[in-house]
Every structure is written in C-alpha cells, then in structure tokens.
Structure 1
Amino acid sequence: MSTTKYLLILPLMAAIAYMAVVALVYFSQRALLYPGAGATAAADHPSWGESVHVKTPDGEMLQGLYLKGDSDKPCLLLFFGNGDRVDNYAFLAQALAARRIGLLAISYRGYPGSTGSPSEQGLLTDGIAAYDWLSAHTGSKIVVLGRSLGTGVAVNTAAKRPAAGVILVSPYLSVLSVAQARYPFLPAQILLKDPFRSDLNIGEVRQPKLFLHGRLDDSIPLSSGQALYEIAPEPKRMVIYDGAGHNDIFNDGTVGDVIRFVEALQGNRP
C-alpha cells in the first residue's frame, strides 16, 4: 500500500474506531450506570429491619427494609448508590435505632428484590413512591438521605415532597457533568440517557441540607459536590472529610454527623 493511500485510509479507520466506541458506550451505558441491578434475589434473612414492599404508580414492586422509630423523631428515607443494596446498611440502622430514629431503605427497580429495569425516570418515580409509602406508615417527619447516585433521587424527592431535611453523601452537580469530566472525548450530552440533573432541581429544595463529601473521592470529585452546594439555597451546611474517598466515607464520624443533623431538626440534640 502506498504512503498516500495509507494516509487516506488512516483517518477513516480512526473514525470507524471512534464510532464503534461511541456505539458501545451508548448501548452499554445503563449496565455501567446501574451495576447493582440484576436478577439477584433479596436476602431471605435481612441483616436489619423488616422486609416491606412499595408499589409504584407505573406498576413496579419495590422491596425495602424498614425499621420503625419513635413517632416524635424524624425517620430517614435512604436512597443508596448505584452498586449498593439495602442489606449493606445494618450499621446505619443500628446507630439510628440506638437513638430511636427510624429508617426505610428501598431497592430501586431492577435491583435485588424489586421488579423492572432501572432508568432515571424509573428511579425518580421510585423515590416519590417510597416517600409516599413512608408518609402513610409513620407519624414522623421524613428526612431524605441520598448517597452517590441516590443523591439525584433524594434531590428530586425533596423538591416534590415536604421532607423535613435532606442529607446528600457524595453528591454530584449532575451525572452528565461527571460523565463529561471523565470522558471528555465523548459527546456525553448527546449520548447520555440518564443525566440526573440535580443542578436543575436543587433550587427547589429549600429544606435544611447537609452535604457530606470525601476529599479523596475519585468517583464523584469533591468539586462536583461543592458546585451543587454553591447553587443550593439556604439553609445548608457542608462537611468535608479529608481522609475519605468514595466507598469509605461512612464511619462513626459520618454517622454521628447524620444523627446530629436529624435530631437538630426535631430539637433533640445529643
């Protein structure tokens, strides 16, 4: 092959390879965004609480774990991260139970124990359904807690329901902005099906807000959480943990900050 032909073919081969990468990302993006989804069954013997089921307006059935607390204290509604599951929060349930604070954690559609397949609209629907279920089953005020991907669900829920407070652990400005920073060579704005635009919803969240983020987070950079914090309306507070990353942010100190925030909403400081 002559040099001239090679130079003509090379850009074409590069373009085809790029288009193949774009197609692969487009068609596999939900598997990448929701790694915890799948056919795995819910645990037969939950590590905490009682197993409950929440029906969504579009006909899905969500499995959750619920630990009832005292009616004069707020109850937490937990939306976990994309690779997580409700069974992993026994440590939080036990700490809350010691203060007589309740907890409901739901498994998103398509996640263990729940029907359906995950999508942004699906998860946002799940969040509202979980809030409404909890509101009907407790006389307590509800504090919404989102972690990682679940912060987008928490922000949307608090924007549409009268939560008493909002706790965002490792939040992002949007999934779109995180994707754009991580994959600058891809047209994320065109490709992304589930952008989770917390930046467009946070202005409606006027309840007290606690932002928690690890300085060493390499999954959702601190800068993304700080950007969301900056545009959030008052009242708000941000705590940055210098030694924490993304998956190790929960410890006794973090749980203590959560409990103090919840009890302060009710006027029951430790």
Structure 2
Amino acid sequence: MRRVPQAGVAYDNVEIETDRGTTACRYYEAEAARVGLVVVGGTGGGFDTPAQGLYPRLAQDLRNDRISTIQVRYRHPADLLESTVDTILGMRYLESQGVQALGLIGHSLGGAVVIQAAASDPAVRVVVAIATQTAGMEPVADLAGRAALLLLHGDADAVVSFHSSEEVYRRAHEPKRLVIYEGAGHTLDEAAESLAVEVKAWLLKHLPGMLV
C-alpha cells in the first residue's frame, strides 16, 4: 500500500498493489477514527459519485464525526467480482488504519458490490445501496441482525427501475429502510440534498459509537 499526500485537496491518494493489479483510492482521514466508510460508484468507472458530489461532500462532513472515508476506483468497473475485490481492499486499508466498524455505500452496480463485500466482513454495520440493480444482491439476507440496510432510488430512473430496490428490500431483513424519490433519475441529482441528509442520518444512527 502506498499513500501519497495531495496539496490543495481534502484527500490523500492511496494505491493498493496486488497480483490482480493496482486499486486506486482517495482517503479522507479523520483524526482518531475508529469508524470508517467505503464509497464506490457504478459502471462508469473513475471516482464517480451520485447525487451532485455526494461522496466527497459526505467524506469531508463526516470528519467532524471522527469517521474516515475511502473512495475506491474500480480496476474493471463492469465486473462485479473484481469490483467487489477492490471494495474489500478499501475496507482492509481502513482496518489497517485502526478502523473497527465499517459502513459501505454503493451506487448502481455498486449497490450489489457493497452487498457482496458486506457479506464477507462482520465489521460492516451499515450498507447504503443507491439506485441498485438486483443482480448480485443474493447475499442481502445474510446481513440480518448485523448490518442496517438503506435503499434509495428515483422513480424516474431510466437505467435501473426502482422496482429493483423494492425487490432487494423485500429480500432483506431488519433493520432496513427504502426511500423512493419522486421525479429523480439514476444519479438522483434531483434529490441530492434530501438524500445526503438521509444517508448521513442512517450512518450516524447505526454505526457504533455514533449519535444522531
């Protein structure tokens, strides 16, 4: 693992080398953090984010709550398995920095990615899936009693129908919550402000040691 401080931005670059290639990340460190958040995008690749820059905004805001965030860039953004591997590497990096409890957020394909990754690690206490697909969501039932699931979708999503989130919600166990935003598309830019409030409240409610 290689961490490179960046001038003039809120994050450090982190590169994680494996025999599968290099996973690039942006790390927003909070002082004395014991709780961490991993955020991932969809098939667009890069450091994409839904809801008008939700990920960097949330990462900087959560520093005040002593939560460190790592944003992971997939090596192969259309590959569910490889993207899950990248996400788990981000989780391992946070754990190497002293983080003991994790939250995961994923958009589109990333919804399935974070469900898959959460199933592999009991340290995950919160999962947020935004405009998620149903393919790859089979492990959601395994989160029962361990990780709180928040599903967010727009009813005007022309890429992935909001019925996908409804189906995942049906399969999941408590604690869980489903929010459908009227008039919002796949990136949910139309609901960015209310979505950010919803996500932060869910994280602070269900991550250990946090207070709403």
Q: Does 1:205 align with 2:114?
A: no
- Select the structure that is richer in strand: 2
CA distance in 1, matches of 2:47, 2:91: 16
Which of residues 101, 111, 119 in structure 2 aligns to 1:151? 111
- Structure 1: stretches of 5+ with no match in the other structure: 1-43, 112-117, 175-196
2:57 counterpart (73, 77, 91) = 91
Deviation at 1:48, TM superposition (A): 3.5
Equivalent pairs counted in the alignment come to 197
Given candidates 164, 187, 193, the residue that maps to 2:125 is 164
d(CA) in 2 for partners of 1:134 and 1:233?
27
- The offset of 1:159, in angstroms, is 0.7
Deviates more, 1:67-76 or 1:132-141: 67-76
Q: Is the 8 A contact 1:48 1:87 kept in 2?
A: no
Equivalent of 1:52, from 3, 11, 14? 14
- 8 Å Cα contact 1:81-1:148 kept in structure 2: yes
Structure 1 residues 101-116: aligned runs within 5 Å: 101-110=67-76
1:62 partner letter? T
CA distance in 1, matches of 2:83, 2:132: 16
1:138-163 superposed Cα distances (whole Å, 9 cap, x missing partner)? 33411011111111110100011120
TM-score calculated relative to the size of structure 1:
0.66
Cα 1:211–1:87 change in 2 (3 A) is closer
Q: Kindly provide the amino acid, as one letter, of the partner of residue 169 in structure 2.
A: Y
User: Residue 160 and residue 233 in structure 1: after superposition, are their counterparts in 2 closer, same or farther (change >3 A)?
Assistant: same
Matched ranges for 1:17-32 at <5 A: none
Q: Pick closer, same or farther for the CA change 1:158–1:221 going to 2, 3 Å.
A: same
Compared with structure 1, are the counterparts of its residues 229 and 70 closer, same or farther at alpha carbon in structure 2 (3 Å cutoff)? farther
128 and 214 in structure 1: CA distance in 2 versus 1, 3 angstrom threshold: same
Distance in 2 between the 1:138 and 1:72 partners? Answer: 7
In 2, are the aligned partners of 1:167 and 1:211 still within 8 Å (CA)? Answer: yes
**Partner secondary structure for residue 251 of structure 1:** helix
Quick check: which one's helix share is greater? 1
Identity, in percent, stands at 25
Per-residue CA deviation, residues 155-178 of structure 1 (Å, 9 max, x unaligned), is 10001112011111111211xxxx
Structure 1 contact 74–262 (Cα < 8 Å) conserved = no
Summarize the alignment of residues 1-270 of structure 1 with structure 2, pairs less than 5 Å apart: 47-56=9-18, 58-71=19-32, 74-86=35-47, 89-110=55-76, 119-162=79-122, 163-174=124-135, 197-198=136-137, 200-206=138-144, 207-249=147-189, 251-265=192-206, 266=208, 268-270=210-212
Deviation at 1:262, TM superposition (A): 1.1
Which residue does the alignment assign to 1:19? none
Q: Secondary structure at the match of 2:119?
A: helix
Counterpart for residue 52 of structure 2: none
Please give the TM-score of this superposition, normalised by the length of structure 2. 0.82
Pairwise CA RMSD: 2.3
Distance 1:72 1:132, change over 3 A: closer
**2-structure distance, mates of 1:63, 1:122:** 13
